[in-house]
Amino acid sequence: MSPLPDFLDHEPPLAVLDAIYDDFVRVRVAPRALAMARDWLGAADLQLVEPGDDAPCREDGLVSRPVAMEGEDAEMAPVLVSNWRTQSPPTADQMGRFSALARHVARARTYRGQLVETRRLGEVFNSGLGRLSIGVITVFPDGRPIAANRLACDLLDEADGISLIGGRLCLASPAEQKALRKLLDMTIGGTVEQGGLRVTRPSGKADLNLLVLRPPPRPGVIRSGLRILLRDPEHRTVHSRNALRDLHGLTDTEAAITMHLANGLSSEEVEERFAIRHNTMRAHLRSIYAKLGVCSHAELVYAILTGASALALENHDELPPLEPLTSLVQ
């Protein structure tokens, strides 16, 4: 069949366009949009046939067109199929309407693909921040939350120093709440690009670190939310002993020691907690420092926290029990 004409005067009505961009962008199957478009076309049937599905048998009143999104091979894209079930071929008006409809379906699929990709990127970044033990909350300038990652939600649920009260972000200390309010106002007003404060916790746990950031302006966006980053010093940062072992060529015991040093324990605390002799610990540290190319405890922690191992997840089934540091496997 010759290429279908694209007639600008055959644009679908707004109700049909709303259904197409609403249904096709938000959901995979769009029966409402297809039904409305079928009635506008005056066709007996309208289908979106996925690759590999059985296409309707060829008839005189049958027209079809791939609705490939940007960058997609037309042979791998769904095909929009309309059937007028008549003895004669579709009229020029019907072909023009169908061509305009197919163009909008392809465009809606492109928007959906972009939305899905954006969400996937967001999941990747949120996952990385979660592995680094950083909570992220997006808030309006008045403190009303917009969104939060899982770690931030856990901290809010604990309500230990920071929580949601009346639909707004609140700190336990009135003085700190006032400081947060001032910080939000200064950040949204452009006085500062960022600012931080310490959040005390009634439970007696280590203070939370809170940082307020103002994201760069985006074209077409009148007002954007602020970003609040939360860091819990008592939260483990390095989770995977296997990642340390594989990335730095450590032995299982060396990797276990390194993991706990990076998570805040001193070498003396590791010795005491896991019954390691002092001379044995010194030998392990000499080997660890040599393999990572560092000369001190501080350099070791910095190298680990800024490396890829900080992003690796823990797997409880990674290794069989080890001696003498079995209890180091969390």
pLDDT at 288: 93
The answer to whether 237 and 310 are in contact (CB under 8 A) is yes
d(CA 239, CA 237): 6
The answer to whether 278 and 267 are in contact (CB under 8 A) is no
Q: pLDDT-based confidence at 131, cuts 50/70/90?
A: low
Q: pLDDT-based confidence at 58, cuts 50/70/90?
A: low
Domains 134-231 and 241-328 share a fold: no
The answer to whether 187 and 228 are in contact (CB under 8 A) is no
**Per-residue pLDDT tens for 168-179?**
889 999 999 999
Amino acid at the residue 164? L
* CATH code for residues 241-328: 1.10.10.10
Write phi, then psi, for 138 (nearest 5 degrees): -100, 130
Higher pLDDT, 321 or 255: 255
CATH topology of domain 134-231: Beta-Lactamase (3.30.450)
For residue 91, the 8-state DSSP code is P
Work out the average pLDDT over 106-110: 89
Long-range contacts of 126-135 (CB under 8 A, 24+ apart): 126/150, 128/311, 131/239, 131/310, 131/311, 131/312, 131/313, 132/237, 132/310, 132/311, 133/231, 133/232, 133/235, 133/236, 133/237, 134/229, 134/230, 134/231, 135/229, 135/230, 135/231, 135/232
Higher pLDDT, 323 or 94: 94
**Per-residue pLDDT tens for 227-241?**
888 888 777 677 778
**Per-residue pLDDT tens for 255-279?**
889 888 888 788 888 888 888 889 9
Write phi, then psi, for 189 (nearest 5 degrees): -80, -10
- Percentage of the chain beyond pLDDT 90 is 12
Work out the average pLDDT over 93-114: 89
Q: pLDDT-based confidence at 311, cuts 50/70/90?
A: low
Please state the separation of Cα 38 from the chain's center in Å.
Answer: 37
Amino acid at the residue 25? V
The token pair at 8 is 């600008």
pLDDT at 226: 84
pLDDT at 236: 67
pLDDT at 132 over 80: no
The residues, ordered by sequence, that sit 6+ positions from 310 with a Cβ below 8 Å of its Cβ are 131, 132, 237, 238, 262, 304
Q: List beta partners, residue 208.
A: 199
The answer to whether 62 and 3 are in contact (CB under 8 A) is no
Average pLDDT, the chain: 79
Helices (H), the chain: 14-26, 31-41, 92-131, 150-158, 174-189, 241-248, 252-262, 267-273, 278-292, 297-305
Domain boundaries of the chain, sorted by first residue: 8-122, 134-231, 241-328
Q: List beta partners, residue 62.
A: 83
Q: pLDDT-based confidence at 60, cuts 50/70/90?
A: low
Distances (CA, A) of 202 to 15, 121, 171, 209: 55, 36, 11, 15
Distances (CA, A) of 157 to 133, 149, 163, 325: 16, 12, 7, 34
pLDDT at 325: 29
d(CA 273, CA 278): 12
Helices (H), 205-251: 241-248
